[in-house]
Structure 1
Amino acid sequence: MAESQLRVGDEVAEALAEGRAVVALESTLLSHGLPAPSNLDVGRELERIVREQGAVPATIAVLDGRAVAGLTDAELQRVCDPANKLVKLSRRDLGPAYALGVDGATTVASTAAIADAAGIGVFGTGGLGGVHRGAQESWDVSADLGVLAETPVTVVCSGVKSILDIPATLELLETSSVPVLGYGTDRFPAFYLRDSGLDVPWRVDSAKDAAAVIGTHRAHVPGRAGVLLVNPIPVEHEMDRDLHDRLLAGGLAKLEREDVHGKDVTPALLEYFHTASEGVSLTANTELVKSNVRVAAEVAVALADRA
């Protein structure tokens, strides 16, 4: 990425220059995934959690057609203000957004790409995009998977949402040679649920072990694939499975009824879950992201200690 299209915040740039731990954070969660004004509170809380673990937060967005890695608090407020209506940007959208000078919120795919360009190797988020149900006909596969396959960033998340075809998503990650590590678990999580019913290929039980795997992968395995570290939602915040299954059935029916596809699927589903669950899913979403960001910061610190 041309230097003119990327601005790295002063605190982030200083930490990177000194070899200290930095954690990337996305902005689509804040502008599209959570309602105002709680989105700003969550954005600030995530940055506080990163600092609490000894790392530096780098919330990423596109402002005035320029990627920013490490928003100021004023810029974070700008991203979270619903009046600004930021465009949701995947990696493919970055060129048009830069050229047209728009404000945009970055998805997992674009956040990972910008983080890599800035020299940031760890990214904490909620859930990864994946292969959608019926993809054999629609070809609806998240760009997150393709970016992770060729971008050496470690993504810490709570698996993928249950609306997706989780077995197909895991198969595609295998095909793409992306290591999948379970953090303290042998089972692949499904966002609101701790267990999707599928195993993870590898398990690590500490940030130090995760950093050892990630560091070895980066140093000795050919290619540029990133690493996926899946961290189940905390037990106390896991959604009741019966409630989850009812919400999922209702959400899938709504998507089909309203012919929702592509990048509109996740925000539509989250909105349905938040409304139909009377806020239960919103609390779960917030708590799993906090947990993931904490783990990401711990892993980033462990990686910095190895350097």
Structure 2
Amino acid sequence: MPESFLRPRSTRVVHAARERGGAVVALESSVLAQGLLPPHNREAAHRMVSAVEQAGATPVITAIVRGVPAFGLEADDLERFLARDGVRKVSARDLGVAMAEGADGATTVAATLALCALGGLDVFATGGIGGVHRDAPFDESADLVELARTPVIVVCAGAKSILDLPATLERLETLGVPVVGCGTDELPGFFTVSTGLRLTARLDTPAAIAAAWRAHRALGRTSAMLVVQPPPVDEAVPAAIVEEATQAALAAATAAGIRGAAVTPFLLGEIQQRTSGRSVRANLALLEANARLAGQIATALQVAR
């Protein structure tokens, strides 16, 4: 790990975990600073961190803190990110500029993957990845390319429901990113359990996923492995409700002229309102569940070493 680039606490936390033979799980910060609104973002941080710890692993929230890549946010930094106090959204392409400008940057999936490569972390938990946008053949998330070139296990609830899910799954196949269902035979729909999109692989235990990852790496494969599980059934939102809310949100975004990086947070906010908060409850539940599974997988990887 190139320690000169990292905050001192980052190296201490990661090294201490490794020295005692422990596992480490990365968590993104964009869901806290640009995704869920207060106070839900604070609850998300607590539930994700606790879930990883309960699985026997060390959680580290990735970010750029005043221009320095960090694995783990100190208390004052976390408060600033939760308050969204001057924190910019940082994708993989933005990391160098954010560092040069001494900025606070909340890392997306793509940026978190890049930092995992920097820190040598094997497992990362998030809510849903980005992908191919609806009715926009050239609007594609940087997450997909970063998944294709960064060897990390990414645990999620599929791609965000606002996206073109069939096209996103096709792009993952084209890019050579294995998509493995855990507890499911199909791609989950983020807020929803079912999409009807069948997967080619299913592994239902952390040990089996860890074994598949070791084989993936032994073959010299340099892509990520996407491990998808549906949101907890008791908090999942029916697909018809999500789709109706998504279509209305897309129409509202078009009418308001929302474009670029602002589209996703706008749509998720609209869906929250149009589902009377059910999407937020599902989001919190799936973030916690994904963090727990990631902790279990990371622990299984350590046991095998």
TM-score of Structure 1 vs Structure 2, range by shorter chain: over 0.9
Q: Which residue of 1 aligns with 2:86?
A: 85
Pairing 1:209–2:208 present: yes
1:150 to 1:18, Cα distance in 2 relative to 1, 3 A: farther
Q: Which residue of 1 aligns with 2:41?
A: 39
CA distance in 2, matches of 1:18, 1:119: 16
CA distance in 2, matches of 1:291, 1:28: 18
CA distance in 2, matches of 1:236, 1:88: 31
C-alpha offsets along residues 246-300 of structure 1, whole Å, 9 cap, x if unaligned?
2111111112222323322211111111222221111111111111111111111
CA distance in 1, matches of 2:19, 2:167: 40
Question: What amino acid sits opposite 1:242 in the alignment?
Answer: A
Question: Equivalent residues in 2 for 1:41-190 (5 A)?
Answer: 41-82=43-84, 84-136=85-137, 139-190=138-189
Q: Which residue of 1 aligns with 2:217?
A: 218
1:2 Cα shift? 5.1
1:131 Cα shift? 0.9
If the length of structure 2 is used for normalisation, what is the TM-score? 0.95
Percent of paired sites with the same residue:
43
CA distance in 2, matches of 1:218, 1:72: 33
Question: What amino acid sits opposite 1:230 in the alignment?
Answer: V
Q: Provide the secondary structure at the position in 1 that maps to 2:52.
A: helix
C-alpha offsets along residues 50-97 of structure 1, whole Å, 9 cap, x if unaligned?
111100001111111111012223322221113x13100000000110
Q: Which residue of 1 aligns with 2:303?
A: 305
CA distance in 2, matches of 1:4, 1:10: 13
Query: 1:40–1:76: 8 Å Cα contact kept in structure 2?
Result: no
C-alpha offsets along residues 18-72 of structure 1, whole Å, 9 cap, x if unaligned?
4421100000001111111331232122111111110000111111111101222
Q: Which residue of 2 aligns with 1:240?
A: 238
C-alpha offsets along residues 169-193 of structure 1, whole Å, 9 cap, x if unaligned?
1111111111110001101111011
Query: 2:117–2:151: 8 Å Cα contact kept in structure 1?
Result: yes
CA distance in 2, matches of 1:44, 1:4: 29
Farther off after superposition, 3-12 or 200-209: 3-12
Q: Provide the secondary structure at the position in 1 that maps to 2:234.
A: helix
Query: 1:22–1:55: 8 Å Cα contact kept in structure 2?
Result: yes
CA distance in 1, matches of 2:87, 2:42: 14
Q: How many residues align?
A: 303
CA distance in 1, matches of 2:215, 2:32: 33
CA distance in 2, matches of 1:2, 1:298: 27
Query: 2:176–2:223: 8 Å Cα contact kept in structure 1?
Result: yes
RMSD, matched Cα: 1.5
1:16 to 1:116, Cα distance in 2 relative to 1, 3 A: farther
1:117 Cα shift? 0.8
CA distance in 1, matches of 2:25, 2:238: 31
Task: Give 5+ residue unaligned stretches, structure 1.
Answer: none
CA distance in 2, matches of 1:19, 1:78: 32
Q: Provide the secondary structure at the position in 1 that maps to 2:59.
A: strand
1:198 Cα shift? 0.4
Q: Provide the secondary structure at the position in 2 that maps to 1:235.
A: coil
CA distance in 1, matches of 2:221, 2:240: 42
CA distance in 2, matches of 1:162, 1:285: 11
CA distance in 2, matches of 1:257, 1:263: 17
